[in-house]
Amino acid sequence: MNTALAGLVILVLGDSHMAGSNYLISSLHDALINEGASVNSYGMCGASADAWLNKTTVSCGRAERHDKAGPIVDMGKQAYTWQINELIAKHHPNLVIVEAADAMAGYGSPQMPRAWIYEQTHALAGRIAASGAKCVWVGPVYGAANSPYHKDDQRVQELSQFLSQSVAPCLYIDSTRFAQPGQWPTTDGQHLTSTGYKAWGQDIANAVAQMKGQLAEK
């Protein structure tokens, strides 16, 4: 076992990429555990950043996982959202990793909703910072435009660039640097195969480990 993240209590929040049993809730969670961290992960299908701020529902399910236990997946039905304040009070993390991008991108629409994205990312980042925890925000990976999700490469790049400027004081992980367009195949245009999720999860964990010095700064 590596110990780059030893002593960290990490809370991971994600959208549908964290809500399937073979998705990031397995690969990223395992990779962080293997770096020595204590990890609690939560994923909500279709969740934008503001879903973690206001009590509402998600239409397609959610999942959670705690340390070395397996994921608890409840997909395909309406469920209440988890709230960031309650999760922080429950787990007392010193690092929060937020994987939230695709549900805010407006794929298929002419314009990306920049003001809406900024408002909710800024609010969630501020809420995390107010708790005293450090924060890392994970941006989107490439998908396939010729799909029901209309996830074209140009909008992914636009969203990633905008998030990099919008999520402070969170540090930003640019996932477009991990794989070129089409390098990680998808099952539906947006969600990766298990091989892709394994690679993405490990890449995120490696990036977090490399940020450890910045995360330790007061």
| Helix, strand, or coil (residue 126) | helix
- Give the per-residue SS3 of 148-210: CCCCCHHHHHHHHHHHHCCCCCCEEECHHHCCCCCCCCECCCCCECHHHHHHHHHHHHHHHHH
Specify the DSSP element, H or E, that contains 90: helix 84-91
Q: Are 10 and 96 in contact (CB under 8 A)?
A: yes
Q: What tokens appear for 88 in the block?
A: 């922080």
Specify the DSSP element, H or E, that contains 215: helix 212-216
Q: Which domains does the chain have, with CATH numbers?
A: 12-216 (3.40.50.1110)
Q: Give the whole-angstrom CA distance, residue 90 versus residue 109.
A: 38
pLDDT confidence of residue 66? 98
- Crossing angle for the helix pair 153-164 and 114-130, to the nearest 10 degrees: 40
Residue carrying structure tokens 């209440």:
80
| Helix, strand, or coil (residue 136) | strand
pLDDT confidence of residue 75? 81
pLDDT confidence of residue 110? 95
Mean pLDDT for each 10-residue chunk of the chain (218 residues)? 88 96 97 97 95 90 96 87 97 98 96 97 97 98 94 98 97 98 96 97 97 78
pLDDT confidence of residue 78? 83
pLDDT confidence of residue 216? 74
Dihedral, CA of residue 163, residue 164, residue 169 and residue 170, to nearest 10: 80
pLDDT confidence of residue 177? 98
pLDDT confidence of residue 217? 62
